[in-house]
Amino acid sequence: MTKLVDLTLIGYTDEVRGEKPAPGGGSVSAYAAALGASLTQMVGSLTIDKKAFEGLTDDEKSLMKENQKKLDGIIDELNDIVDTDANSFDDVMAAFKLPKDTEEEKKKRSEAIQTGYKKALETPIHAAKLGLEAMRLQNIYALKGNKNAITDVGVGTLLLQSGVEGALFNALINLNSVKDEAYVAQKRDEVDKIMKEAKDLREKTLAIVYSKLQ
C-alpha cells in the first residue's frame, strides 16, 4: 500500500479533498508541521559553513548544527504521523462494531470504545509536541541564520504553529468522548500548556522576523 508521504503533492491534496474522512486534519497538521520544520532546517543549510557563519561564536555554531540534527528526527517522525494519524481512529471504529446483545458484551464494547478514543488522541498530541519542539529550536535561526532566508523562518513558524494547533484540535475532539474525568482533566491541562507555549513562541519568533524586515 502506497504511503501518503510517498505521493506527489497533487496526489496528496487529491486524497485530502476526496470523500473519505482520512487523511484529514490530523494528517494535514502533521504535514504542515513537517514543512515548517523543513523550512527551518533549510535556513540552517543556507547558513552553516557559509561566509556569515564564520562570524558566529563557537557556541552559536554548535547550537545550529545540533538543532539541524534534532530537526532531522522531528521531520522523520512527523512524516510518519502523516500516515499513522489516518489510522489512529481504527480502534474506535472497530469497537463500535463489537456485539452488544448482553450486559457483558455492552461493558466490553464500552471499555473498548473508551480505550480507542484514548489511543486516538495520543497520536495528535505527539504530533503537537514534535511541532512545539521544532519551534523551540527556531530562535538561533531567526537571530543568526542567513538574513536572506529570514522570511523562511517566518513561514516555518506559521506552519509549525498551525500544525501544533491543528493537531490539538484532533486531540480535543476525541477527548470530548472520554468519560474518565481525571484523565480528561490531565490531558486538557497538557493541551493547554502546549497551545500556550506554541502561541508564545510564534509571537517571539515573528517579532524577530519582522524586526529584520524593517
d(CA 74, CA 138): 13
Residue 8 lies in a domain: no
pLDDT digits (tens, 9 = 90+) for 187-205: 999 999 999 999 999 999 9
The predicted-structure confidence for 72-93, as pLDDT tens digits, reads as follows: 999 999 999 998 887 777 888 8
d(CA 146, CA 153): 10
Residue 2 has pLDDT above 80, yes or no: no
> Domain limits at 90?
23-213
* Alpha carbon distances (Å) from 190 to 40, 150, 175: 25, 31, 12
Taking the C-alpha atoms of residue 144 and residue 190, their distance in angstroms, rounded to an integer, is 32
Flag whether 1 is in a domain.
no
- Is residue 84, in this structure, part of any structural domain at all? yes
Q: Indicate whether 101 belongs to any domain.
A: yes
Alpha-carbon distance of 82 to 32, in angstroms, equals 9
Per-residue pLDDT averaged across 142-163, rounded?
Answer: 97
- Give the total number of structural domains in the chain: 1
Residue 143 lies in a domain: yes
- Which residue, chain included where needed, has cell 476525541? 174
Instruction: For residue 99, give every residue at least 6 positions away whose Cβ sits within 8 Å of its Cβ, in sequence order, or none.
Output: 105, 109
Q: What is the pLDDT of residues 9-59, one digit of tens each?
A: 898 899 889 888 778 899 999 999 999 999 999 999 999 999 889 999 999
Give the three-state DSSP class for 21.
coil
CB 167, CB 155: distance < 8 Å: no
Q: Tell me, what's the pLDDT at 1?
A: 64
Q: Exposure string (b/e) for 9-24, b if CB count within 10 Å is 16 or more?
A: eeebeebbeeeeebbe
Q: What is the distance between the alpha carbons of residues 193 and 209, in angstroms, rounded to a whole number?
A: 24
d(CA 32, CA 61): 27
- Give domain status of residue 10, yes or no: no
| Dihedral angle computed from the Cα positions of residues 190, 80, 115 and 181, in that order, rounded to the nearest 10 degrees | 10
CB neighbour list of residue 69: distance below 8 Å, 6 or more residues apart: none
CATH code of the domain in which 204 resides: 1.20.120.680
Position 184 in a domain: yes
191, part of any domain: yes
Note the pLDDT tens digit of each residue in 161-188: 999 999 999 999 999 999 999 999 999 9
Please give the C-alpha separations between residue 94 and each of 19, 51, 73, 87, in angstroms, as whole numbers.
Answer: 20, 57, 32, 11
